[in-house]
Amino acid sequence: MSRMIFVNLPTNDLSAADRFYAALGFTKNDVFSDENASSWVISDAITVMVLRSEFFSTFLVDGDEPVVGGTSREALNALSSDTREGVDEFLANAEKGGGTIYRAAAEPFPGMYQGAVKDPDGHVWEIAWMSPEAIEAGGQ
C-alpha cells in the first residue's frame, strides 16, 4: 500500500471551510465528517481534514494551541496542476468559495506557472503547473 497524506487544519467556521473546499472541486467524504470535522478528498493519496479548533486541540500536547489566521506561516500546502489553465481555474474557484488570493498567478521561473490562495481560515494553498520541457530540463 502506498503512503497517503492527511493534512489536518483547524477552523473557526466549519461551514465556511466546507464551501471553500467544495468550490475547489474536492470530494467530501461523509464517512469521516461530522459536526467537528470535514474530510475532503483531493486525490487517492491526499485528504484534507478540516477540524473545529476545539476538536483540533484534542490532538495537541505540550501546551500547543491551534493557529487560525494571523500573519505567521508554518507551512504552505502545495498541489500540482495538469495545465496552466488549471492554475487560473483553481484560483478563481478558491475566490468563489470564500478564499482570497495570497499570491497572484505568475511565472517565477521559465516553464513554471503558479499562484496561491488563503482559505477562509488563512491556510495557504499553492497551485503550480510546470511545462514538460521545464520538467525535462530540471532532470538533467
Asked if residue 67 belongs to a domain, the reply is no
pTM of the model: 0.91
Read off the CATH number of the domain in which 33 is found.
3.10.180.10
Output the nine-digit C-alpha cell for 79: 498541489
Count up the domains in the chain and report the number.
Answer: 1
Asked if residue 106 belongs to a domain, the reply is yes
Looking at residue 31, what DSSP letter applies? G
Asked if residue 83 belongs to a domain, the reply is yes
How far apart CA 100 and CA 122 sit, in angstroms, is 9
Asked if residue 25 belongs to a domain, the reply is yes
Residue 84 domain boundaries: 5-60+75-138
- Give pLDDT tens digits along the chain (140 positions): 789 999 999 999 999 999 999 999 999 999 999 999 999 999 999 999 999 999 999 999 999 999 998 888 889 999 999 999 999 999 999 999 999 999 999 999 889 999 999 999 999 999 999 998 877 777 54
Contact 128, 87 (CB under 8 A): yes
How far apart CA 95 and CA 92 sit, in angstroms, is 5
Asked if residue 109 belongs to a domain, the reply is yes
Closest Cα partner for 21 from 130, 121, 105? 121
